[in-house]
Amino acid sequence: MIEYNTLLEVPVEIREFYEEVTVRERTGEQVSETFTYTDEEGVEQSGSRLVSEYEDALYIEELPTPETKSKADLERVIALSKPARVVDAFVAMVAKGEQLEWFNRHKDYLVAVQERLELIDNHVPELDGEGFEIPWTEPNELVAPTRPAILDLVAMKAERDSAAALASFKSSRQALIDNAVVDANGLQFDADEISIGRMASAIIATITEEDTYQMQWSLADTDTGVMTDVTLADVKLAHQLAVLNMSAVWGV
């Protein structure tokens, strides 16, 4: 661990993670102190005594470690549909965690750089049996860890709100299709995607029949299991209207 005496000694790229702390400490010396007291006769007296000397000492310390969260934690609160303020708080803590992780890796990098330089400075050439200097290769230069982008929390919130609005829109649009009903010759047909598929299958199965061909169908305005007599023409029209309705909804 590298110690710093002033903030200016801290590399600028990590200076924001440190602070100056002033501590009152003993100097190891003693100083004379005047004091007053009341004697046994009630008379105020004065005297002097030796006491420890103190002075302010300045230290450079890392800022307290903030509370952080992982991306998995963030995904969990989003999946649980937690309030926006909770999600925002987790986003901020995830961002802090990413920066803190980089800071710790950068500290290790700085220590490794210092150790490399000391190794080079302290290297003493060695000679082989014939008195020739044995070749020595300096340790490879180190690469500093890349700092992750500092997240723009306002932009992230706006992006998330936009995504939530889009998801809500898609959900409401799907609901329109899932609950769609069309009127074909006075008959109420379900017009959701499953019903459209069923109508298509019925039309294909009776492709050789006349439009007056009779079949039974479960309509939207009758109880489940109650079948109603309809014609192939009714089903064809209902299918056409249902497809047009779905296209209109998806085109919104």
The pLDDT of residue 166: 79
* Domain final residue pick, 135, 151, 167: 151
Does 80 lie in the same domain as 47? no
The pLDDT of residue 225: 78
Task: Tell me the CA distances in angstroms from 251 to 173, 180, 233, 246, one per residue in order.
Answer: 10, 15, 27, 8
Segment-wise mean pLDDT, segments of 10 residues, the chain, 252 residues: 93 96 94 92 92 94 94 89 87 92 96 95 91 91 92 71 78 90 96 95 95 95 89 96 92 68
Does 110 lie in the same domain as 182? no
Does 202 lie in the same domain as 230? yes
Whether residue 229 lies inside any domain: the answer is: yes
Does 140 lie in the same domain as 90? yes
Whether residue 158 lies inside any domain: the answer is: no
The pLDDT of residue 252: 59
Whether residue 202 lies inside any domain: the answer is: yes
Does 58 lie in the same domain as 88? no
Find where tokens 């929390």 sit: 153
Q: How many domains does the chain have?
A: 3
**What angle in degrees, to the nearest 10, is found between the helix axes of 153-178 and 84-121?**
140
Does 145 lie in the same domain as 76? yes
Does 94 lie in the same domain as 57? no
Does 107 lie in the same domain as 40? no
Q: How far apart are CA 53 and CA 109, in angstroms?
A: 40
Range of the domain at 88: 71-151
